[in-house]
Amino acid sequence: MCRAAVLGKGTLASHACEVITSLPDTVLDTVIPSAPEPDWDISLSGFVEHHWPDTRVLRSGDWRDLEPGRCDLVVSVLYDKIIGPSLINGTRHIINCHPGRLPAYRGARPVNWALHNRDTLAGITIHVVYDGIDSGPILAEALFSIWPDIDEVADVWDRAMDHGRRLITDTLPRLDAITPTPQDAATATTHYRRDTPLLGDRDGWTRTTTRASRREEPGSG
């Protein structure tokens, strides 16, 4: 029996839980919701407690509370902390769903940065977790068109979540059969939270959102 854990938030992490529970000989052992959970998406903890009351929910939001070796599979979905080597080295499969193209948009707010840079393609990526920021080899990716002149961050974020659902559905059952593709470190760019002021009017969900009314930043993961 494979024991699995999900770390993260919202609808996409909840979908990962659904896919995991549909896998043969797999049990959803532990869920660690981001803390605090966003109020602009569904509560991962509430969703899990309603559907799988026997699953352990750790509300600390801290990956360190998941004992290394307890779970064979750990899936990070829009999780907002860097996972350390103790859990990485103690887990057979540990993967992350990142709402941006890699290696071009490692780190924070990839959707915002893609629009700021006036890209015409955005993406969402599932990669192996290494000790670093979104640096592990790629297992799967979905690319989709964006239109910087008319799209808001909220539009592209919703599109990424739609593609992410399909990507998670297709990838998790095939993990043992997929050969990861290493990232080209020479072409990598990493954005940090401290870079946010450089986003200008792409800082918020829309270009007209006032700072006082902005929701939690959309592009972590």
Q: Where are the domains of the chain?
A: 2-213
- The residue among 6, 18, 2, 1 whose CA lies nearest residue 56 is 6
pTM, 2 dp: 0.94
Per-residue pLDDT of the chain (221 residues; tens, 9 = 90+): 999 999 999 999 999 999 999 999 999 999 999 999 999 999 999 999 999 999 999 999 999 999 999 999 999 999 999 999 999 999 999 999 999 999 999 999 999 999 999 999 999 999 999 999 999 999 999 999 999 999 999 999 999 999 999 999 999 999 999 999 999 999 999 999 999 999 999 999 999 875 444 445 555 55
Count CB neighbours of 63 within 10 A.
Answer: 21
Report the alpha-carbon distance of residue 148 to residue 7 in Å, rounded. Answer: 31
Report the alpha-carbon distance of residue 162 to residue 3 in Å, rounded. Answer: 26
Report the alpha-carbon distance of residue 12 to residue 18 in Å, rounded. Answer: 10
At residue 94, the 3 state secondary structure works out as strand
Report the alpha-carbon distance of residue 68 to residue 168 in Å, rounded. Answer: 23
Report the alpha-carbon distance of residue 106 to residue 208 in Å, rounded. Answer: 26
The runs of H, that is alpha helices, within the chain are 10-22, 44-51, 85-89, 110-116, 153-171
Asked if 85 and 130 count as a contact pair (C-beta separation under 8 A), the reply is no
Pick the CATH number of 2-213 from 3.30.505.10, 3.40.50.300, 3.40.50.170, 3.40.50.1860: 3.40.50.170
Side-chain half-sphere exposure of 44, counting CA atoms within 13 A: 33
Q: Is 213 left (phi over 0), alpha (psi -120 to 50) or beta?
A: alpha
